Amino acid sequence: METTHRRPNGRLAACDPCRARKVSCDHREPVCTRCFKKNIGSRCNYSGGHSAIKRVSREPSSQLSDGLITASSVAEPPPLPPLLPPLQLPLPVELDLATQSSVSPPPVVGLPTPRPSARLGHTSVLEETQSSLLLLGGSAGSPDDVDYNPDTPNQPAVPFQELPYMIRQMCLVVLRGLPGQRDAQMAYLDGTVEPRGWTYIAVDRIVRNLRRMFAASRHLGEAAALEALARMLCDNTARPFQDDYPDCKAWIEAFCSANSLRWESIALLWAHMERASDMFDALNKTLLVRSANNTSVEAARINLGYCIRLVQHFSNPSVLLLDMIRRLATLHSLVDGELSMSSWDTGASSIAFMTFLGTQTTEEDEAATYTPTFYSEYKRRIAVHVFTRDKLGVAFTGRPPFISHRYFSAPMPLDIADEDLLDPTRLQRAAKSLDANGWNTAGRLYASTAIRARFMISMIRDELIEATLGKASLNVDYLLDLRSRQCSLADQFPDGLRLCASDLASPDVPPNVAYMKAFTHLEHLQNIFFAERLLQRCNYVGNGELLIVSVTMVSLTLHFWMNQDRFSMQTMRRNFEWIVLSYGAPGAGVLCQELLYPTFRGNHPLDVKVTRSSIIQQLSVLIGFFDWVRDAAPNATLCRDCSAIIQRVLDYTLNMAAAGGAGLGANGAAAVPELLDWGVFDQPDFSFELMDTFDWLR
């Protein structure tokens, strides 16, 4: 071990990454153990001492590490063997270094106890032992840490022709679909790039580098040129990503430069073309569009799936691969529907990759001294995206979730605009302008604003899911608390996200803003709907809150369909089918029950606008929404069945009223609703429960 990296007080200096994170460092050369394990060997510098060795091709230390203050101004005794790694843990007051002899052993009682690992892995105890050894001044080096090179691939390069046949064919199929190729499935829109986020900058650089590569290899012929490019992509994919990146530029360089293109880079092109991202980003224009011979999302789904399989063949999981799997799940949902096995399987894979990478958790020391960077915010967004999508799928299918809120501790991303994440200076300025809860104070609606709000809703929804699908008996007080927390949750949202009645029709509110406000409010209402349903199951006698929230859900759902000219973007309208099934259909079930078994007369006591007539009108319009869904849609059969059931209920209700109330009870309810003529539907069963909100269909 080198002994020249010492602080002014004589102690060994930690490397810059360990100093920045305030963790122990074993001072190994050329790369310490922590940096080796995290694949950030290129950043393992020792700039903390006066005589640090100069290294070749090392990146400068981060601003965070440069800003650390040492205790060099305090008088110290002659150099002693280090009792504690520098800048890790405060010296206990029991220790007085000025009175200790250089030959006396350090008192054990004063040594701080390392924080127990939260992990249950088979190496967690050994890692705690290693930390204790470091605290006692020992060496925790491993024989495997010799001659580590972070740029070394995970596996030796294999000639392209020696790769498995299916791997080679997948490579060539994906490359033939790129812009400018013979079987191109996408076209690039040349022009000025608007920096709406890192994706747009990355896609622009990837496409331009691919163009130059294809042009430079044209003399080789099509087959040889594609194989040469595929070989380069495979070799680069075998190189692991770093554990961290100081800024967006470094992140882009990792997979977008001419020498670093990977299969993840190609995967991003297919996902970007179909706007498979978060709902807010999907409303922006793309740099890639479908070519003339590509008329569906199927091409992107297949090629994105191929890219993911290639990455898994050559490399270990990464955050970027997790992002691509998340985007593939979106495409599966668009093509096959949320109930399909493909959508469910990909959603499960995204959870598996997230937990494998550990992005669903955070360390306590990181949360206490968090300084946002592009990469840290990116990881937070991906983790929150995956968790939120899991809860949306559970609410739609009624299947158990893949991950519980009890095992998810990743903090929310900060409410920072995508454009501000691109520049470190703007990022720090934006972070300082946030309020105490992490919301932006400019009143703007960013993608991160919606991401945070939907995640907060999903956390409460997961508790509702646990109460619904779990084995424990339901507790009314707990359900009332969940309902109260959800009702007050909307008050925590910034003003830019709260839905006002005037937002739906006001020309001053952009369509994308109105769309996100309405969609977020629907998710908020759905949680209240679930809570009311659970309370009803516990025989809790309310004041008709379930009916009111159902009317509101159906009314807001119909707003999307009745204002198609306002929400005319293809990325908005492709969600209409899912919206009407997720929010319109469960609410319609409660309204149909109200028609068959009335609970009030005249105007509803909680809302005078709710009458029997208004319920019939809403259901009549909702039938039109269900019938609007095209026959080729993945959930078209469910929409037709819902439409037919509601139509039968309306026919029965109106025909009985026209017959002078024959067959009605004293309170106006249908005396024998079981005798309702369902036509072809004999005890209809939709084979899914939607969190038990469709039992009215049975």
Res 434 pLDDT > 60: yes
Least confident span in 105-119, 232-246, 409-423: 105-119
DSSP reduced 3-state for 403:
coil
Residues 81 and 177 in one domain: no
Alpha carbons 46 and 1: distance in angstroms, whole number:
13
**CB-count burial class (<10 Å; 0-12, 13-18, 19+) for 470:** exposed
Query: What was the pLDDT predicted at 150?
Result: 41
Q: Choose one of 60, 89, 118: the last residue of a domain.
A: 89
Res 74 pLDDT > 80: no
Res 469 pLDDT > 70: yes
Query: What was the pLDDT predicted at 345?
Result: 95
Name the CA radius of gyration of the chain, rounded: 30
Query: What was the pLDDT predicted at 473?
Result: 84
Q: Label residue 539 by pLDDT band (50, 70, 90).
A: confident
Share of the chain above pLDDT 90, in %: 55
Query: What was the pLDDT predicted at 23?
Result: 73
In a domain, 407, yes or no: no
Contact 254, 204 (CB under 8 A): no
- Mean pLDDT, range 479-485, rounded to an integer: 96
Contact 188, 177 (CB under 8 A): no
In a domain, 215, yes or no: yes
Q: Label residue 537 by pLDDT band (50, 70, 90).
A: confident
Count other Cβ atoms within 10 Å, centred on residue 618.
20
Residue type at position 184? A
Count other Cβ atoms within 10 Å, centred on residue 313.
16
pLDDT digits (tens, 9 = 90+) for 159-197: 888 999 999 999 999 999 999 998 999 999 887 667 788
Residues 169 and 284 in one domain: yes
- Mean pLDDT, range 353-378, rounded to an integer: 85
Res 482 pLDDT > 80: yes
Residues 301 and 177 in one domain: yes
Angle CA 474–476–482, to nearest 5: 95
Contact 649, 592 (CB under 8 A): yes
Query: What was the pLDDT predicted at 110?
Result: 39
Taking the chain, what is the end-to-end CA distance rounded to the nearest angstrom? 74
In a domain, 641, yes or no: yes
Residues 82 and 184 in one domain: no
**CB-count burial class (<10 Å; 0-12, 13-18, 19+) for 677:** exposed
Query: What was the pLDDT predicted at 93?
Result: 34
The DSSP line for 295-310 is: -STHHHHHHHHHHHHH
Q: Choose one of 316, 332, 354: the last residue of a domain.
A: 316
Q: Is the peptide bond before 30 cis (omega within 30 degrees of 0)?
A: yes
Q: Share the mean pLDDT of the chain.
A: 80
Alpha carbons 475 and 462: distance in angstroms, whole number:
16
Alpha carbons 228 and 234: distance in angstroms, whole number:
10
pLDDT higher at 548 or 50: 548
Res 144 pLDDT > 50: no
Res 7 pLDDT > 70: no
Residues 76 and 180 in one domain: no
In a domain, 671, yes or no: yes
Which among 375, 179, 416 is positioned nearest to 287, based on CA atoms? Answer: 179
Residues 192 and 283 in one domain: yes
Which among 47, 52, 16 is positioned nearest to 34, based on CA atoms? Answer: 16
In a domain, 60, yes or no: yes
Residues 85 and 165 in one domain: no
In a domain, 303, yes or no: yes
Structural domain of residue 202, as residue ranges?
160-316
Least confident span in 23-27, 84-88, 456-460, 518-522: 84-88
Query: What was the pLDDT predicted at 650?
Result: 94
Residues 76 and 173 in one domain: no
In a domain, 165, yes or no: yes
Residues 72 and 181 in one domain: no
Query: What was the pLDDT predicted at 125?
Result: 63
Q: Label residue 504 by pLDDT band (50, 70, 90).
A: confident
Return all residues near 165 (Cβ < 8 A) that are at least 6 apart.
none
Count other Cβ atoms within 10 Å, centred on residue 228.
15
pLDDT digits (tens, 9 = 90+) for 660-697: 654 445 454 445 444 444 443 333 333 334 444 444 44
In a domain, 300, yes or no: yes
Residues 71 and 193 in one domain: no
Contact 482, 467 (CB under 8 A): yes
Least confident span in 47-51, 88-92, 453-457: 88-92
Query: What was the pLDDT predicted at 444?
Result: 92
Residues 72 and 186 in one domain: no
pLDDT digits (tens, 9 = 90+) for 13-43: 888 888 777 677 877 787 887 787 777 877 8
Residues 203 and 301 in one domain: yes
Give me the half-sphere count of Cα atoms (radius 13 Å) on the Cβ side of residue 310: 33
- Mean pLDDT, range 134-150, rounded to an integer: 48
Q: Label residue 262 by pLDDT band (50, 70, 90).
A: very high
Res 143 pLDDT > 50: no
In order of 19, 251, 632, 635, 688, the CA distances from 340 in angstroms are 48, 34, 15, 10, 12
Count other Cβ atoms within 10 Å, centred on residue 311.
25
**CB-count burial class (<10 Å; 0-12, 13-18, 19+) for 29:** middle
Q: Choose one of 89, 113, 130: the last residue of a domain.
A: 89
Which among 559, 551, 626, 639 is positioned nearest to 587, based on CA atoms? Answer: 551
pLDDT digits (tens, 9 = 90+) for 601-644: 889 989 889 999 999 999 999 999 999 999 988 889 999 999 99
Return all residues near 534 (Cβ < 8 A) that are at least 6 apart.
464, 467, 468, 474, 479
Which among 108, 102, 84 is positioned nearest to 12, based on CA atoms? Answer: 84
Contact 440, 415 (CB under 8 A): yes
- Mean pLDDT, range 306-316, rounded to an integer: 96
Residue type at position 597? Y
Domains contained in the chain, number: 3
Query: What was the pLDDT predicted at 257?
Result: 94
In order of 96, 185, 298, 328, 384, the CA distances from 169 in angstroms are 69, 17, 18, 20, 35
The pTM for the full model equals 0.78
